[in-house]
A and B are shown apart, each in its own frame.
Chain A
Amino acid sequence: MLNETIGRKKKRTGKSFLNGWVWFIFLLPTLLGIALFTVYPMIESFRLSFTRGAEERYVGFENYQHVLGSDSFHQAIFNTFYIAFFQLLIVIPLGFIIASLIHSLRKGQNFFKILFYIPNITSMVAAATVFLVVLHPQGLLNYVLSAFGFPETIWLANPVSARWSVILLASWHALGFGIIINLANLQAISPDYYEAASIDGASRFKQWLYITIPNMLGSLTILIILGWIDGLQRFTEAFMLGGHTGSPARSLYTLVGFIYERGFGGLEYGVASAASYLLLILILVFTFINIKFFRMKI
C-alpha cells in the first residue's frame, strides 16, 4: 500500500516535472538569444578591455588607467551629467504640472495624452533633423525669441548653448513619458482621500501638498532613476546635433560618444570596452545611490 502511494507520488512528481520542463523548452530560443547576443558580447567586451591593438595584446588595467586619466573622458562625464541633470530638472516638474492639468480636465484628456506622447514615439533621428532647422540662426526658436527682444543666438556654435539645445531636444522627447507616468499615478490616487480632506476643511493647496505629493513619490522616484540611467547613456541627440566629435569643442561629447569614437572611429576596441565597463559601473553606483536616497523598494 505504502509502496503504491510512493509509486503514485513519484509518477505525479515526474509528470509535473515533465510538464514544467516542456514549457522551459519554449524559453530556450529567448535564453539562447540572451546568451549569444547579450551575455557573450559582455564577456568578450570584458576580455577586450584588457587588450590593445588588432593583435589583442594583453595590457592589464592600462586601458582603464588611460580612460580614467583622459581629458576627453572627463569632458564626456561633465557633458553627460550636465545634460542629464538639467533635462530631468525640466522634464520631471513640467511632466507633473502638465499631468496635473490634464488630470483636472473633464473632457479631452485622451487628446492631450496623445498630443504630449507623440514626441516620445518619434524617432530621435527624425526629431533631431527637425531641431536642426528649429535651431538654425534664422530658425523658429530665434524667431520666437526675437519677438521677446532676445538677441539672435547661434545655438550650435557655442558650447553652452549647444548643450542647452540637446537639453531642449531631449526634454521635448522625454516629456510625454513623464506625463503618462505621472498621470497614471494621479489617476491611481483614491478620490476618497480628497473627499475626506475637503470634509475636514482642507484647502485645494493643502490637499495637493498632503495628499497628491506624498502619493506621487513612487512615480517621481521611478522617473528620476530611469531618467538618470537613460541620461548616462545619452548618445543619439548629441550625435545628431554635434557629430561624432561632439562639436562644438567637444561640448556634446558624451560617455557613449567617447565609446563610439574610440571603438568605431579609431578601432580602439580595448579602450572602448574599458570605457563601457566604467560606464556600467557608473550607472550601477548611481542607480544604487538613487534607490537608497529615494528609499525605493525593488
Chain B
Amino acid sequence: MKKKNSTLALTFLLLFSTLLSACGGGNLSSSAATATQPSAKTGDSTAAASPAETAGLTGTLNVQMIGGFTEEDKTDPKTGLKTTGVRVLKEEFEKLYPGAEVNFVLMGWDSYNEKTQTMLQSNAADVYQLPGIATFAEQGLLEPLQSYIDRDKFDLDQYFGGQVEGWKAMGPEDTDLQIYGLPFIGDTRVIVYDKKIFDDWGVPYLSKEPTIEEILEKAEKMTGKNPKTGEQNYGLTFNKSDAADTVMNINESKGGKWGTGFLWKDMELEFNTPTMVEALDLLKKAKEYAPEGVLAGQGAENFLTEKNNVAINLRAAPGFITDIKANGTEDRYDAALLFVNPEEKMGGMFAGSPFSIGKSSTQKELAWEWLKFSSSDFFQQFMWDNYRNESTPVVKASTEWASVKEIPQMSVVLDAMGRLWAPRYPYRSGQPRYILSENVEKALLESTSSQEALDKAQKDAAEWIVSQK
C-alpha cells in the first residue's frame, strides 16, 4: 500500500514538474518588474552610481522589432554579405545607459499586427516597431510623445520632411493628429528604369519627375522587338499587388486625393472621382505595354538583372539598390520620382516604420531614450549598413554619409521619401484597402469599366465605414 502511495505521489510530482517546466519559460514581465527597481548596491558603489542611474534610467527595456533582424550576426542569402546583428544596438545603448539592459523581441512580418496587438495588450514590451500605428493609437494603447519632445526640446527637424507627420495618429480622446511614434525605418517607392533598353531604342531617359503621360509615351516606343537585340521588350511593368496604390498615385498627379478624415467615424473617401477614373484608365493603358503576366505578378522577374527586357518599373522599393549591387548592374539602372499632387506637393503611399512606447510600459523614460537613440547617427548608420534591404535612413544627416553618396540612385530615393503623402492613407488599415484593390483589379482585367469599378469600390467602402461608426 505504501509502495502504491509513493508511486502515486511520484506520478503527481512528475506531472506537476512537467506542467511547471512547460509554463515557466522566460517570464519577461516578472524579470522586467524586478529590474526596474534600483540595482541593489552596497556601500561605495551606490554613491558612485552613474548620472543615468540617478536619473532613474535603469532596468530592463524590452524592444520589439519586426523584419529580418537578428540579434547575432548572419550572412545575407541574397548577396552573401555578412550582416551584423542588432546586438550592436543593445551594446551601444547599454554603454550609454549603464544601468539599462535591452531585451529584443524580434519577429517576422507574418501576422505582425495581431502579434503586436497581443503584445501591447499584455505589456510584453516597452518599445514597439509599429507600421500600423493608427490602429493601436486609436485604441489608446500608445503613449503620446509630444510632452517628451517638448520637455527635452527634441529636434524633429533632423528627420526628412514628412517623416514625423506621416506617422501622426489619433488616440481615442484626441481631436487632431498627434505624435505617437518617431520614424526609424524609412521606405518609399520610386520609378526605376533600365538605361540600356532606353539606349537600344534611342529613347531619352526619364526626367527626374516624369508625368504619367511621359512614361506611357516612352513605354509605347519601347514595346516590341528590340532593334538591337531582337528580343521582345516591354515598355513598363507594375506590381499587381499594389496596383491600387499606383492608381492612387496617378490620381494625385491629376490633383486628386484619397479622401479626408482620419478616424473611421469621420472619414470620407474619394474613390470614384473623375481623377481616379482617369488614373485607372491610364493604368489600363499602361497594361498594354507590360508583360502579359503582369496581373499575375509574372513576366518581369529579370528586372534589375542583365537579362532584363522591361524598360520601366512604375513602383520599386528602395531595396533595388541592393539588388543592382548584387547583380553588378549599378550603372544600368536609374531612378525617377513618383508623382505628386501639384497643390499638396506630396504623393504616394507613406511607408516605413516608427518606434512607439506602449501606454502600459513601466519603462517609459528609458523607452523614450531608446526612441531618441534610434535617430542617432550610430543607430541610423548601423541600419543602413546592415539592413539596407529593409531600411532607408530617415535623418537628413544621412545625405552626407559617404556610403549614401557613393550610390547615385540614393539621392532620388531620399528625395522621394520627403514627398510621400502624410499622414499615411488611413483607409489602408481596414477593408477599404482591399475593396479598392479588388475593384481596380477587376477593371484591369477588363471585366468592368473604370467608372463602374470605382463606383462599386466607393459604395462598398463607404458602407463598410458606416458599419464601423
List A residues at the B interface (Cβ < 8 Å): 18, 22, 25, 28-29, 32, 53-55, 66, 71-72, 132, 136-137, 152, 154-159, 162, 243, 245, 247-250, 261-268
Cβ B15 vs Cβ A249 within 8 A: no
A191 to chain B, nearest CB (A): 50
Given contacts A71-B460, A264-B114, A267-B114, contact A247 B291 (CB under 8 A): no
A266 nearest in chain B by CB position: B430
Judge if B296 is at the interface, Cβ distance under 8 Å. Answer: yes
Cβ B445 vs Cβ A264 within 8 A: no
Cβ A267 vs Cβ B135 within 8 A: yes
Given contacts A159-B445, A245-B437, A267-B113, contact A28 B293 (CB under 8 A): no
B251 to chain A, nearest CB (A): 20
Cβ B15 vs Cβ A28 within 8 A: yes
Judge if B139 is at the interface, Cβ distance under 8 Å. Answer: yes
Judge if B19 is at the interface, Cβ distance under 8 Å. Answer: yes
A262–B441 alpha-carbon span in the complex (Å): 19
Overall SS of chain A's interface? loop
B356 to chain A, nearest CB (A): 16
B136 nearest in chain A by CB position: A54
Give a binary string over B42-55; 1 marks a CB under 8 Å from any A CB, 0 the rest: 00000000000000
* B contact residues, range: 35 or more
Contacts of B111 in A (CB 8 A): 264
Cβ B298 vs Cβ A137 within 8 A: yes
Contacts of A264 in B (CB 8 A): 111, 113-114
Contacts of B390 in A (CB 8 A): none
The residue among A18, A66, A156 with the most chain B CB atoms within 10 A of its own CB is A156
Given contacts A22-B11, A137-B299, A267-B117, contact A154 B292 (CB under 8 A): yes
Contacts of A249 in B (CB 8 A): 438, 441-442, 445, 447
Contacts of A22 in B (CB 8 A): 7-8, 11
Judge if B12 is at the interface, Cβ distance under 8 Å. Answer: yes
A245–B437 alpha-carbon span in the complex (Å): 8
Given contacts A25-B11, A264-B114, contact A66 B18 (CB under 8 A): no
Contact among A29, A262, A267 for B19, CB-based, below 8 A:
A29
Contacts of A247 in B (CB 8 A): 240-241, 295-296, 441
B447 nearest in chain A by CB position: A249
Given contacts A29-B15, A66-B467, contact A266 B296 (CB under 8 A): no
Judge if B4 is at the interface, Cβ distance under 8 Å. Answer: yes
A28–B430 alpha-carbon span in the complex (Å): 42
8 contacts between A and B (CB under 8 A): A22-B11, A25-B12, A29-B19, A137-B296, A245-B434, A263-B114, A264-B113, A267-B117
Judge if B431 is at the interface, Cβ distance under 8 Å. Answer: yes
List B residues at the A interface (Cβ < 8 Å): 4, 7-8, 11-12, 15, 18-19, 111, 113-114, 117, 135, 138-139, 240-241, 291-299, 429-431, 434, 437-438, 441-442, 445, 447, 460, 467-468
- Taking A137-B293, A264-B113, A268-B431 as known contacts, 13 extra A-B pairs with beta carbons closer than 8 A to each other, sorted by chain A number, are A25-B11, A25-B15, A32-B19, A137-B296, A137-B298, A157-B294, A157-B296, A247-B241, A248-B240, A248-B295, A248-B441, A266-B429, A266-B434
Contacts of A152 in B (CB 8 A): 292
Cβ B293 vs Cβ A250 within 8 A: no
Cβ B114 vs Cβ A157 within 8 A: no
Q: Which 8 A-B pairs have the closest CB atoms?
A: A156-B296, A157-B296, A157-B295, A54-B139, A137-B293, A249-B442, A266-B430, A249-B441
B296 nearest in chain A by CB position: A156
Contacts of A267 in B (CB 8 A): 113-114, 117, 135
A177–B277 alpha-carbon span in the complex (Å): 49
Contacts of A162 in B (CB 8 A): 296
The residue among A28, A157, A263, A264 with the most chain B CB atoms within 10 A of its own CB is A157
Contacts of A262 in B (CB 8 A): 431
A71–B15 alpha-carbon span in the complex (Å): 51
A81–B265 alpha-carbon span in the complex (Å): 36
Contacts of B447 in A (CB 8 A): 159, 249
Cβ A136 vs Cβ B11 within 8 A: no
Given contacts A158-B445, A249-B445, contact A265 B135 (CB under 8 A): no
A36–B120 alpha-carbon span in the complex (Å): 22
